[in-house]
Amino acid sequence: MTMKSVLVIDDEVQICDSIQLILEYENYLVDSANDGEQGLQKVKNGQYDVILLDIQLPGLNGFEVLSEIKKLPGNVHVIMISAFGNIENAVKATKLGAFDFIEKPIDRDKLLITVRNASEAVKLLRENTEFKKVYSDETLIIGRSKPTLAILDIIDKVAPTDARVLITGDNGTGKELVARSIHMGSNRKSLPFIDVNCAAIPNDLIESELFGHEKGAFTGANQQRIGKFELADKGTLFLDEIGDMSLAAQAKVLRAIEEGKIERVGGSKKIAVDVRILAATNKNLPDEIANGNFREDLYHRLNVIPIRVPSLRERIDDIPVLIEHFTHQLCKKYNKPLMIFSSAVLQSMQRLPWQGNIRELRNIVERIIIMVSKPVIEVNDVEFLLPAGKRDVEELILTSNSFQDFKEKAERAFILKQLELNGWNISKTAELMDIQRSHLYNKMKKYGLAKETDNG
């Protein structure tokens, strides 16, 4: 585990030594400087997670140093320390971008909690920045269909605001991509985007996950925990699958929205949080309200701007564009020459139901990229790689130009199924189909099903 680094800027050597002793015992790397200019130079030359900065310094004072630090690239949180702990200083420090404010004489527990909170927040900021660098091309909303263009238009309008957005749609349609796009188009884009999958967290832990808990709040709470609301402060909190959240947690989320404050589990202190909330669900929330599973007041709080993400079948014009996008990604990932899907393959894939939506489409493209080694991918190359159960009678009828075409496609599908069931053992398949092996070979050749090896 990487050790967190802290820089202490204070003109009192004893204060620096005392803080260093406390933090090093908790496995922090600690450096110090005794005036503003020296401290600022160290910040420019090194990388620190947290800076403890005294207000009263010779030369540049703490506020001036803080202003200069905030102009520098990178993510670091500054905690102001002062013997003059008045409200005016705290407000000024906050306006200049300080993470928190500690009064002298410094309380050990307060110091450790504040530094830990700041270092965890910095970690999230850096992970978020790295995520944007590495995955920015994978989080784009790709498409040219009317439904997709309509969603992009809504995102352009709503992203710069702080309005809450409720994103609905089936699994795999890209609801999280919509949420991330809203965050990236907002004034909070350089701050954390914290996502919580409400369906993946047990009901007895969801409140601790969202709001944090105090040490000893319940069995197993051996130390204080910072919740997602606090970690997302000044940024965006994405509540995915909110339709699965317990009613008790819903009540607390509603209160947090109304008051702009949260309470940790087991605590009594109100903590102010500035969080933009985006929520998503694959459930019909009005039905859930009628069934007593979701709070109507919370629904109306979240549903300021509704965005419905349609299924892939409702935007088939996006399928060729998505396939091209995924092909570029995956050929690069697997170090393969760029492959092209023929127009016949694209048309065939546009006719499939895609019950798993974009997630299923990407998986199938990945399967094809791995299994096929041809510069141009034709229909015969992908028939056996397409989702099982999709090549049914209705699909054959819809894709057939004549009765003869339908019969040939049905025969091909039947032979392919029998070959797959018999592990491509030609002799066994011919015997079970009650035809000559040579006749089966001819059919396989006709339909492009020929195998190199005959296990018979």
**Domain chopping of the chain, boundaries:** 5-131, 139-308, 313-390, 397-456
Q: Are the folds of 5-131 and 139-308 the same? A: yes
Would you say 141 and 177 are in contact if contact means Cβ atoms under 8 Å apart? yes
As a CATH number, domain 139-308 is 3.40.50.300
Tokens for 372? 């096929």
Would you say 139 and 329 are in contact if contact means Cβ atoms under 8 Å apart? no
Q: What's the topology of domain 397-456?
A: Arc Repressor Mutant, subunit A (1.10.10)
298: number of Cβ within 10 Å:
22
Would you say 352 and 398 are in contact if contact means Cβ atoms under 8 Å apart? no
The count of residues in the chain is 456
Give the chain's radius of gyration (CA, Å). Answer: 30
Torsion sign over Cα 114, 118, 123, 124: positive
Torsion sign over Cα 30, 35, 36, 38: negative
As a CATH number, domain 313-390 is 1.10.8.60
CA distance 346 to 321: 10
Superfamily of domain 5-131: Response regulator (3.40.50.2300)
Tell me the pTM. 0.60
Coil, strand or helix: which one is 16?
helix
CA distance 148 to 142: 8
For residue 311, the 8-state DSSP code is -
Taking the mean position of all CA atoms in its chain, how far away is CA 34? 42
Q: What does each of the 456 residues of the chain score in pLDDT, given as a tens digit? A: 467 899 999 999 999 999 999 999 988 999 999 998 999 999 988 889 999 999 989 888 989 999 999 888 778 899 999 887 677 787 888 888 888 888 888 899 989 999 998 888 888 777 665 554 444 444 578 888 999 999 999 999 999 999 999 999 999 999 999 999 999 999 999 899 999 999 988 888 898 899 988 888 787 777 788 889 999 999 999 999 999 999 999 999 999 999 999 999 888 889 999 999 999 999 999 999 999 999 999 999 999 999 999 999 899 999 999 999 999 999 999 999 999 999 888 988 888 888 889 999 999 999 999 998 889 998 888 877 877 544 455 555 556 677 787 778 778 877 887 787 777 888 888 887 888 888 888 888 888 886 543 433
Would you say 30 and 41 are in contact if contact means Cβ atoms under 8 Å apart? no
Query: In sequence order, which ranges of 341-446 are alpha helices (DSSP H)?
Result: 343-350, 357-371, 379-382, 393-399, 403-421, 426-433, 437-446
